[in-house]
Amino acid sequence: MPAVKICGLASCDTTRAACKWLDAHGVTYTFHDVRADGLTKPLVEGWVKRAGWEKVLNKASATWRELPEKEKAGVDQPKAVALLLAHPTLVKRPVLDRGGELTLGFKPAIYAELFA
């Protein structure tokens, strides 16, 4: 099985639910807190390249709603990467990385399929 890494916020209910699911199903993983551990440009660019910035940038988040309109205007890939690096809480959480294969968000049925 490829190495499993989960990136999110320790305080995020969805991230905690995903970690709890992995623990309950005996999946060994490493955890990366996007706020405490930070994000690097190569990491964010890799996510955006594999999943698309539209999926990685969480426009439903409180962080997005609190951004000034001028920061939210005209978002494209380079601007999305810059926003994600400046505001790690904009990342759609959690990001599950299974050896380079990304899954964004958490749904128990999807995890069950991934780890069947």
- Which residues are tagged catalytic? 12
**Coil, helix or strand at residue 26:** coil
**26/89 Cα distance (integer angstroms):** 28
Two structure tokens written together for 6:
């989960």
39 Cβ contact list (under 8 Å, min separation 6): 84, 85, 88, 91
